[in-house]
Structure 1
Amino acid sequence: MHARVHPAPRHLPCQKDPRSVNRSFSCVCGQPIFFRNSVCLGCHAPLGYDPVRSKLLPLAPTDTPDVWRSQESVDEPPMYRRCANLSSPATCNWLVPLQTADAFAPDLCLCCRLTRTVPDLSVPEHASWWGRIEVAKRRLASSLLALRLPLVPRSEDPEKGLAFDILTTLPGAAPVITGHASGVITLDACEADDATREQRRTSLREPYRTLLGHLRHESGHYFWERLVDGTAWHEPFRAVFGDERADYGQALQTHYLNGAPPDWSSRHVTAYASCHPWEDWAETWAHYLHMRDTLGTARSFGIRGDRVELACEPFGPSALSESGNGDVTDARFLQWLNHWLNLTVVLNEMSRSMGVADFYPFVLSQPAVRKLHLVHRIISHKTPRSARRRTRPPAQS
């Protein structure tokens, strides 16, 4: 990300986004507590995350074994069970509201019920890999829930639900490929090994490769099937991203053989996004989630992009006007986007001050912004699905 030196534009006042997940919480003792915490370091109260309310809560026991209540000052505090995976390598701190407990897995939270397959935990490194993956998956799930996107385990909705298979390559078997197919996200558990993931990132010449990035990308494929395929958004998608009926397998083969076009950055968020409209959508979706969660986290701690005096050249209405849907103006989206650009300039400089890679090593072109805006519109104005689901090969990350 680069900045042009000129007077910072005057922004509209930054407003709280009701769909932005909160990452800053306080215990009843006044100690700050964080999204991943399962116990308060100040008063040692047990903590749990309520996915329905997007809130980390201090808990107190009740007269019923294994049932907890919130310590909030309310007349009828909600009652919960703590996820059974709290004591597993997943170390899940999510709660199971008693009124929504699943009949088939009453002791598992919503996020853990999404996981269908885990690696062989008798192998020592597999347990730590699984734990890291679940940490990333909880952050993804909390963001999707805050955006009010449909998130139902495949065990409860075999047709439209979502499942995660976390696998390792077995001796003599074909290698596990991270991807999505018909509601099932497969993740190569080796991606949780830092050395392996960094080696792959370097060999593929990627500026960014993380577990959370993988999960956000693959969730994009899943939600394309849920929100775009066969709906009123399908033609707007093709107008902005291209026709997904182009041969997917051939597109991947061509990409890995020849690489991205030299001018890919003028149209796409990443080089990989240039290989096929499905991958363009998934990469754009992942970047949208990066932006939503990062800005939401910053806002939670009082860090606001509109207060940054060093500014990028802001995007204006012309960035959205060729979206394929007629003239489009969206002042709120542009405000949000420009706050993001301001924030990343500073965060990139802070990363360089620590001698590490840039926080956000990407530059957004106007066509990429139009694609982000279409993702934003689809998430904000979801339409019911009206056509049968199409199947396709797993999408490689």
Structure 2
Amino acid sequence: MPNIILFDDPALRTQLLPLTYTRPVALIRCGIHTIAEKWEGYLQTSVSFLTEDYLSEKFPVRHTSGNLYINGALCPDQDLVKSIQELAPDTKLVNASGETLAVRAEKWHPGADALSESVRYNQPCTLIRQVWDIFLQNGNQIRADFERITKNRKSAALTDPFTHCYHPGQIFIEEGAVIKAAILNAENGPVYIGRNAVVQEGSMIQGPFSLGEYSILAQGAKIRPNTTVGPHCKVGGEVSNCVISGNSNKGHDGYLGNAVLGEWCNLGANTNNSNLKNDHTVVKLYSYASGSFSETGLIFCGLIMGDYSKAGISTMFNTGTVVGVGVNVFGAGFQAKHVPSFTWGGKAEGYEEYRLEKALGVARDTVERKQVAFTASDENIMRYIFENTKEQRKA
């Protein structure tokens, strides 16, 4: 097996901000697993990341002989894996648009492509190009991950007599999970309950749905299709077509729809987002690539929130809102549709720069409360983002 390196395509990485401020592209979660975990599952080997310099201390690249570079925004499937594995040395695999999907070479990096040989991949494939692709592709990726993860395995038994299942053959429960007095409906897509996860009384789930290990669905949670809750989260209220990456909380009532939350986020009680404009026109979303608002082509699009950001109780987010990294937002009325990284305040009260040391202290406390170390690498990443988003906060 060649050495697998998942690389950040520079254009796609920018389009996937603010989520990629704090992680390589391949660590985006879409479906049950992150893209990196999908490749590790298909190839049965570990991977490393070719990413931005400021991220490389935490996510180092590992070069050996016989390297195979794979686009970190690319979700694997059986045909794609076969084509990549068959690549000859010093050859790249490209799609019909000419985008690089994979490269087999001793040493290569995006933007310095001197390879003369290329192979065209003409089959459809899933490439996460925009932040909204994460929730648009989530249902299909849950289905694909579910099939791979559960193949030739037997679900743990459901022992609670007050839980009702529809289409139980598409429900898989990992060992240690606890489910009480819930409704699990897998008629339109699979339901996956991770190891040691908890589904509390009165929760209603429609698949496709994935609940990560050690995560909790609060009492009376209403989960609509195409939703992923990553590991170590607590989620309540109504959630529809969302990806909550991991280690984030939406523990109370309130609506979240067509949205993506990064890690270490918290939405206060009764936080809501709009995902549909009153006039049903196409939603515009802030683009880090253009520095302005761009049409998504979507009628339904809610909240995109970067890591370490928090919203106070009863916060309202308008249709197509982007919140950066390390934000503390609160107050009356709808918030601005782009809240830059390291911003403190609300639209009614006014926004100001979130003092870096205060933001770092809150981030450190948030992480360590879950018995996870907030490392020097994590702090350095936060400091870099703070310095490199100053112009956004001045706009």
TM-score by length of 1: 0.32
Q: Select the structure that is richer in helix.
A: 1
Q: Select the structure that is richer in strand.
A: 2
User: RCO (CA 8 Å, sep 6+): is it higher in 1 or 2?
Assistant: 1
TM-score by length of 2: 0.32
